[in-house]
Structure 1
Amino acid sequence: MNHFLDLSQIDKKELRNIVEEAKRRKKKYSIKKKVSVTESSNAQDKLLLMIFEKPSTRTRLSFDLAMRQLGGQTIVMNANDMHLGKGEESIEDTAKVISSFSDIVMFRTFSHKSLLELSNLLNIPLINGLTDHSHPCQLLSDVLTFEENKGSIKGAKVAWIGDGNNVTNSAIEAAVQFDFQLNISCPKGYMPSKKTLDWADKKNGKINIIQDPKKAVAGVDAIMSDKWISMGDKVNVKQKKKALKDYQANKKMMNLASKDAIFMHVLPAARGEEVSAEIIDGKQSVVWHQAENRLHGQKAIIDWCLD
């Protein structure tokens, strides 16, 4: 049984195979036949249960459509639809019910601890749709997007500027697993997980912490960013935005990167905060490619989990 919980937990070769499978399936995708099943898969006639404790546009659409294109079906449940985490039913009992009715589960939640606890109780595959610690599905589609626009990501230079959040943690893991350099520039107090950084260091990852964002983006092939204030953040918003004001991806920042550098963003975006409108809507932006590639990445992930 294959869980897809974090990039650090999956063999490098397996991750590369998943990306290549996403590329292969994307070639057979027809935008005019969005629910057509183009070929057989491990998800044929299977049920994907999607549990959303934290809502999302791209995650909901991409997983739902991915499963349909693989020949399977989906059921969506949110926090109000079930007993999970409410104390009315033990998580052990809930896991038994989920396992008996479903073939695979996608869980998008606030707590990474909840994800790990559920993974230990299910006897079917579990996919991390996002937690407060990581967002591996996003980074898989980001690698796919980078390679479509720039060629192999191996040996590339990527900069992350802004808030050091769950996506940053997955970017660190991706840098190690896909062998690229990652420059991280975040203000003090908003750094990514020390545990993840220590893991990357033990794996001899090419991770550079550079306080000055201008130095971090110098000559890189891609600049990555995310919202400064995420859903559920329990922070002083005014204080956080003040700390991050010099970490905006704008024309000056992009001019310091390589001439053909691309701009990547998880979405949704706050124009005028972490990124200027001229960058996210400009020619160097590949954010809409990233969003579309969630679909193709999800198909490959689901198929791998059910192998």
Structure 2
Amino acid sequence: MSRPLRRHLISIDDLGFEEMHRIVQRGADFAAGRLEDARPLHDAVVGILFRRTSTRTRTAFSAGTLRLGGRLISYGPGDLQENTGEAVEDTAAVLSRMLDVLVARTAGSEAELRAFAAQRQMAVINAMSAAEHPTQALADLTTLLRRFGRIDGLRVLYAGEGNNTASALTLALSRYPGTELHLRTPSGYGVEQRYLDRAAEYAAGSGALVAQRHDMADLPEVDVVYTTRWQTTGTTKADPEWRRDFEPFQVDKAVMDAGAGALFMHDLPAHRGDETTAEVLEGPASIAFEQAENKYHSARAVLEWCVGGGPAGDGDE
């Protein structure tokens, strides 16, 4: 008996808009407790490969697998024979004959994940690469939907490094009608142009606005202020004086006041005194820890979609 074809999630760009929105809605449904009996991963085996540290993403996909009826095999950074020179394609050919899903945080290039995904027996989920963090964006959208009841028309100020979280959020938010994403990034640390160009294509059809500037002047009124840690996981900065470029982009009370009642989001881990202050992170406007919980609910929706279960998989093959 042949195994069903699996879906890969390497980039937000791998999803059609309806697929993306159904995954987000499904994450909200899981969060609301409406799908507690769902077991789309019954007897499925999920491999968890993390070469970099992770608290939220690894726990979310591990717990999500178990809650959905699946079973786990966890790999550390030194466990696979790639470390002895085996080709990624050979590793993928073997794993795909034994696993149903591979959740991988390589912190390397997207090309490596695409090599893992060059088969249709085993779904491959990008749990963060150097350029993009798609499952974070889906969790962020789930958070917005749960808090506001909609995503259309929301205004977001993103302050800080144009890292993999910012890239994924740019691709995702630009597809919703009337949204605004104001990226404020230090010069030399902005969102890559290829992501801005792709977002501009989406925005042309959706009526969204995506704008990047390299200062914190003339901040707009927004619904959400979002930041991330300045030292992205698994990376280093060539300039030893990089902090001087980042200090003006700290999200403090003045930035939040400019947002005129905005909520505060952070993908965590947070470094109080760097990208934000304790006053903001622990203040009444902060939904950062709610956002972290939504990674778990969103992970279940992603896993379900990748194995073709539930409404999120209908009609997409």
Does TM, scored on the shorter chain, surpass 0.5? yes
2:69 aligned partner, one-letter code: G
2:21 aligned partner, one-letter code: R
Contact 2:52–2:105 (8 Å) recurs in 1: yes
The farther-off stretch of 202-211 and 93-102 is 202-211
Map of 1:92 onto structure 2: 89
- Pairing 1:190-229 to 2, within 5 Å after superposition: 190-203=189-202, 204=204, 205-215=208-218, 217-229=219-231
The farther-off stretch of 246-255 and 15-24 is 15-24
Equivalent-residue separation in structure 1 for 2:198 and 2:300 (angstroms): 28
Deviation for aligned residue 1:65? 0.6
The farther-off stretch of 281-290 and 40-49 is 40-49
- What are the Cα deviations for residues 62-90 of structure 1, in whole angstroms up to 9, with x where unaligned? 11110111011111102211122x35322
Map of 1:101 onto structure 2: 98
Give the number of equivalent residue pairs. 297
Map of 2:169 onto structure 1: 171
Backbone CA RMSD of aligned residues: 1.6
- What are the Cα deviations for residues 25-64 of structure 1, in whole angstroms up to 9, with x where unaligned? 22227xxxxxxx9313321111110111112011111111
Contact 2:227–2:265 (8 Å) recurs in 1: yes
Map of 2:313 onto structure 1: none
Deviation for aligned residue 1:267? 0.4
Deviation for aligned residue 1:121? 4.3
1:15 aligned partner, one-letter code: M
Equivalent-residue separation in structure 2 for 1:117 and 1:241 (angstroms): 36
1:272 aligned partner, one-letter code: G
- What are the Cα deviations for residues 256-305 of structure 1, in whole angstroms up to 9, with x where unaligned? 0022x111111001100000110001000101001100010000000010
2:182 aligned partner, one-letter code: N
Deviation for aligned residue 1:122? 5.8
Q: Percent identity?
A: 28
Contact 2:101–2:123 (8 Å) recurs in 1: yes
Map of 1:25 onto structure 2: 30
2:283 aligned partner, one-letter code: G
Contact 2:39–2:67 (8 Å) recurs in 1: no
Map of 1:256 onto structure 2: 258
Q: Which runs of 5+ in 1 are unaligned?
A: 30-36
Map of 1:266 onto structure 2: 267
1:271 aligned partner, one-letter code: R
SS of alignment partner, residue 233 of structure 2: coil
Contact 2:100–2:121 (8 Å) recurs in 1: no
Deviation for aligned residue 1:238? 4.2
Matched, 1:306 2:299: no
Contact 2:174–2:200 (8 Å) recurs in 1: no
Map of 2:72 onto structure 1: 74
Equivalent-residue separation in structure 2 for 1:263 and 1:132 (angstroms): 25
Q: Which runs of 5+ in 2 are unaligned?
A: 1-5, 309-317
2:289 aligned partner, one-letter code: W
Map of 2:121 onto structure 1: 123
Equivalent-residue separation in structure 1 for 2:173 and 2:17 (angstroms): 11
Matched, 1:2 2:7: yes
Task: Tell me the TM-score normalized by structure 2.
Answer: 0.89
Equivalent-residue separation in structure 2 for 1:8 and 1:206 (angstroms): 18
Equivalent-residue separation in structure 2 for 1:191 and 1:40 (angstroms): 40
